Amino acid sequence: MTDACFPAFPILIKAPQNMMDINEIRELLPHRYPFLLVDRVVEMDLEEKRVRAYKNVTINEPFFNGHFPGHPIMPGVLIIEAMAQAAGLLGFSLMGAKAAADTLYLFVGSDNLRFRSPVTPGDQLTLEARVLSAKRGLWKFECQASVDGRAVCSGEIICAEQKK
């Protein structure tokens, strides 16, 4: 017997192709816990070369134990790393590649980096990146992290391809 609210056969709804869940993210990025800082991609536009993703920030993050105990704040370098990982997802998707065993894409610099507000447990950190240039293995991205629509960090991130 089936209930009207619960059909006998589940209905499978496929997510739009421009979204990625954590399993698809793990196929592209080599990062793993505790350094995988992107939980979901909600929009990827390969024609406009931009991505929007997010990181759910919880009190269970290991860095909160020692980063301002009693007043937990997400470290700025990890916000930058989260933006770089979102940019990396975009770069890998544009190249049609996955994290290769013989190649690393390394964070090599940033320009015009600004922090505007702290990120605390309970925040959902929205990560946006757009390709500014890609030449000879160097990628430059315009990135922004925001919480509830207000920017908390922005800047340009530069990544470089390096053979292992």
Side-chain half-sphere exposure of 93, counting CA atoms within 13 A: 26
DSSP label at 71? S
Terminus-to-terminus CA distance in the chain, angstroms? 58
Amino acid of residue 63: F
| Structure tokens given for 12 | 């499978």
Cα gap 18→97, rounded to integer Å:
16
**Catalytic hit among 31, 67, 130, 140:** 67
> Catalytic residue at 71?
no
Give catalytic residue positions: 67
